[in-house]
Structures are given as structure tokens and as C-alpha cells.
Amino acid sequence: MSREFRHILRITDTDVDGTLKAPYALRKIKGISINLANAILKKAGVDPHIRAGFLTETEVTKIEEIIKDPVKYGLPEWLLNRRKDLENGKNTHLISADLILRTKMDIDQMKELKSWRGYRHAYGLKVRGQRTRTTGRTGKALGVKKKAVAKPGGGGGGGGGGGK
């Protein structure tokens, strides 16, 4: 069976570079790590050393099915990015726009509850315990002011001649 090369593939509403090897191409989808990509390809029965551009339509649809419901295909729970969801208590895996939206909703919920993490998010500070005394500064530089440097060859202010 001859495989036709495609430079750009469409997998789960994301454009993927066909010149990359399959696991690295799947990594371009937001929410899929290299470990998850390798596990998906193994479950789909696809050679991980093949370039993504050589994947057939049936292989791409099989990969998309596994991405949509990885638990159904027997992937381990620790590979998922949404475990024990607060709404339904299930282990799910979110990708692309769903992942971005859910993360934003989680941050908004923390702000609404006025938790410590919500407070840090609301004020634009570091959330995970990093130091803030020296790093993460925004705005103008603080510290020592530079002296005004005198221009060479000139006495002092003025452009040219005398006055009265």
C-alpha cells in the first residue's frame, strides 16, 4: 500500500506538521504530552518512528478516537490531565480550547472563593510559592539611578550666542 505524504494534517481541529515524527507531531496539540502521544500511538497500532505526513486517514481517525476518550482504550489514569473532576468526579482528558476554558474557569472559581491561590492569581503574583523579592518584577526598573552624563565639548546649556 502506497502512502501519500501530506505536509499538514488536521487532527482534533489542530493543524499538525507532517514532517515531524508522529509522537512529536501529536505534541503540537495542546494538552498532549510526549508520554501520552507515545501511548496513543501504541494503542492505535501506529509505528512511532513514522513521519506524521505518512499517516493514513484510518490511522488518523483511530488516533482521534483515542484522544477523545483515552480511558475507554485502557490508557492509565496518571496520563490524564483532569483527574477526579470537581463537577462529576470522573477522570477525563481535555485538549485544545476545552483545556484553556476549563483552566480559566478553575482560576475564576478560586478567585470567587477567595482562596490563597485565587488571591495570588487576582493580583498577578506568583502562585506556587516562588520567591518574589527579586524575580517576577514588572514595570520600570528599580534600584540605583544613573548620573546625568555631561556632553563633551560644551560648557553648559545653550545653543550659540549671546542674548542681549
Residue 115 has pLDDT above 80, yes or no: yes
pLDDT value of position 33: 92
pLDDT value of position 163: 63
SS3 85: coil
Residue 53 contacts residue 9 (beta carbons within 8 Å): yes
CA dist 134 → 66, 74, 116, 138 (Å): 45, 46, 21, 11
Lowest mean pLDDT among 1-5, 66-70, 71-75: 1-5
SS3 43: helix
Residue 22 contacts residue 50 (beta carbons within 8 Å): yes
Q: What does the block give as the cell for 91?
A: 477522570
Residue 158 has pLDDT above 80, yes or no: no
pTM: 0.71
Query: What band does 86 get if pLDDT is binned at 50, 70 and 90?
Result: confident
pLDDT value of position 2: 54
Query: What band does 162 get if pLDDT is binned at 50, 70 and 90?
Result: low
Residue 102 has pLDDT above 60, yes or no: yes
Which phi and psi (to 5°) does residue 146 adopt?
Answer: -80, 145
Q: How many CB atoms lie within 10 A of CB 97?
A: 12
